[in-house]
Copies of this chain bind each other. A is one copy, B any other.
């Protein structure tokens, strides 16, 4: 198996599926000749031409809206939003249109689009190139939200997203693009949307995370193992629909749960994770579910010192885990 980073995995997967199924096409800003500001589509324009790798005008609402229309017309569109922060002008198309198409038409129409959303901080992006926008969509039934952060998970879930009959927000952590490498499975490799993945088995406590925080949690778990504490690390992989089953099972096993996200605390996905587990595993919990998240600040500032002060670190996660383990 070849080793790729997350960005290469996204590119290779789009390439493979566009070769395999001509209904698949990509649209977005600079995705064509340029290859995308993240370089996610490098080479696609030359391989598939300007009608399947579409450089759109600077207009996100229409990027998603055109994708929706193309999906209704029988294509399988991948809409690239250049930075997740800019998906906000497409919220109406995503929530009013894509998420409700099947329901409102009583199953007569459906909307198989993928909206690729590069998100997350730690890249000196400042307030508008760092946001975690997932919680804005998390309360919308009809949407699916996936956030894989290993090259293999990216392949399995991007393929699943492309062929999923319903709209999928595909979250890509920008810091993971180059920093996270791993094996890239060949050929038809699929993962189910809606399943969390136990990335590390442990008996003493459970840490639930996604995105870069999941990798930090894995690192912290190794550190804690040296202290004789075995942490189970669960990668949500899919945020919506939430895989409550896997989370609750682990909580019942360890009795101590921590949820971590880079998004700010209030109204973050950690709230639903904590509430859901507590509802179903209350009697098994030795401690309240602990949340580690960014402070309630509008977004991540540009200055590196402020940026570091904003984003949860592996150290913070480790300290939280230790406290929880000792509870």
Contacts and interface: CB of A to CB of B under 8 A. Distances in A.
Interface stretch (A18-26, A70-78, A133-141): A133-141
29 contacts: A88-B91, A88-B92, A88-B96, A89-B91, A91-B91, A100-B127, A103-B298, A135-B139, A136-B136, A136-B139, A138-B266, A139-B263, A139-B268, A140-B298, A141-B266, A242-B266, A266-B272, A267-B269, A267-B272, A271-B271, A271-B274, A271-B275, A272-B275, A274-B278, A275-B278, A275-B289, A280-B288, A282-B285, A282-B288
Nearest to A128: B96
A315 interface: no
7 smallest beta-carbon distances between A and B, as pairs: A139-B267, A282-B288, A135-B139, A274-B275, A88-B92, A138-B267, A271-B271
Contact of A85 (B88, B96, B140, B267): B96
Contacts of A138: 266-267
A264 interface: yes
A104 interface: yes
A311 to B, nearest CB: 15
Interface in A64-98: 85, 88-89, 91-92, 95-96
Interface in A258-303: 263-264, 266-272, 274-276, 278-280, 282, 285, 287-291, 296-299
A185 to B, nearest CB: 31
A92 B138 CA distance: 17
A142 B275 contact: no
A212 interface: no
Contacts of A299: 100, 103
Q: How many chain copies does the complex carry? A: 2
The interface size bin for chain A is 35 or more
Contact of A141 (B95, B264, B278): B264
Contact of A88 (B95, B268, B276): B95
A240 interface: yes
A270 B275 contact: yes
Contacts of A270: 275
A291 to B, nearest CB: 7
A142 B298 contact: yes
A99 interface: yes
Nearest to A89: B92
Nearest to A296: B141
B85 A298 contact: no
Contacts of A263: 139
A68 to B, nearest CB: 14
Interface string A54-72: 0000000100000000000
